[in-house]
């Protein structure tokens, strides 16, 4: 083969190679675009289906935070006996039962939101235990002490509820 034959062969092959490369590039760009479009549509359908469930989870957690709010809790749960320790135990058991009832909602919440809700629950239990350490001798007096001790402070449930509302606002 002579140099002229090789030059002719390259002259014929070069346009074919360039055309093939351009076709490959456009085909690849088209398939990537289609894949992105399908992914977007799948995500959009997923959002449509999961958004109501996520909102329901946030609603349940808002209700939980309202129910364990110290003023609400102490007014709603009256002492059954005059025993201070029994009332403290009843309040803490009520909070724990409410929490366990809503435990599955964590899969729909962000990790940060769930941590804040757990911290609010723990802070509420700690406030009850701290008030129970006082020198009171009856459940009714403990009830008053709990309310008095938490009157001046920001309720942990209020802080957590504000965060839940902020996060729900970001869903839209």
Least confident residue range of 6-10, 40-44, 122-126: 40-44
The DSSP annotation for 90-109 comes to HHHHHHHHHHHHTGGGGGGS
**What pLDDT score was predicted for residue 93?**
97
Q: Give the whole-angstrom CA distance, residue 37 versus residue 31.
A: 10
Q: State if pTM tops 0.75.
A: no
**What pLDDT score was predicted for residue 57?**
95
User: What is the per-residue pLDDT across 48-99, written as a single tens digit (0 to 9) for each?
Assistant: 778 889 999 999 999 999 999 999 999 999 999 999 999 999 999 999 999 9
User: What is the per-residue pLDDT across 150-167, written as a single tens digit (0 to 9) for each?
Assistant: 888 888 999 999 999 999
Q: Which helix (H) or strand (E) holds 69?
A: none
Where are the extended beta strands (E) located within the chain?
Answer: none
- pLDDT at residue 1 is higher than 70: no
Q: Give the whole-angstrom CA distance, residue 61 versus residue 70.
A: 16
User: What is the per-residue pLDDT across 20-46, written as a single tens digit (0 to 9) for each?
Assistant: 999 999 999 999 999 999 888 887 776
User: What is the per-residue pLDDT across 100-119, written as a single tens digit (0 to 9) for each?
Assistant: 999 999 999 999 999 999 99
Q: How many helices (H) and strands (E) does the chain have?
A: 6, 0
- pLDDT at residue 171 is higher than 90: no
Of 71, 106, 105, which Cα lies nearest the Cα of 91?
71
């Amino acid at each position: 083969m002579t140099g002229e034959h090789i030059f002719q062969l390259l002259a014929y092959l070069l346009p074919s190679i360039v055309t093939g490369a351009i076709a490959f590039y456009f085909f690849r760009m088209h398939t990537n675009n289609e894949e992105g479009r399908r992914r977007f549509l799948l995500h959009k359908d997923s959002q449509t289906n999961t958004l109501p469930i996520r909102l329901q989870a946030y609603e349940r957690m808002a209700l939980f935070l309202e129910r364990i709010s110290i003023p609400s809790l102490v007014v709603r749960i009256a002492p059954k006996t005059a025993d201070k320790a029994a009332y403290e135990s009843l309040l803490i058991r009520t909070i724990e039962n409410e929490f366990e009832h809503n435990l599955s909602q964590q899969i729909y919440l962000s990790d940060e939101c769930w941590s804040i809700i757990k911290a609010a629950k723990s802070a509420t239990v700690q406030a009850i235990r701290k008030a129970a350490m006082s020198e009171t001798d009856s459940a009714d007096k403990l009830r008053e002490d709990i309310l008095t001790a938490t009157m001046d402070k920001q309720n942990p449930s209020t802080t957590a509820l504000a965060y839940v509302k902020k996060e729900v606002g970001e869903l839209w």
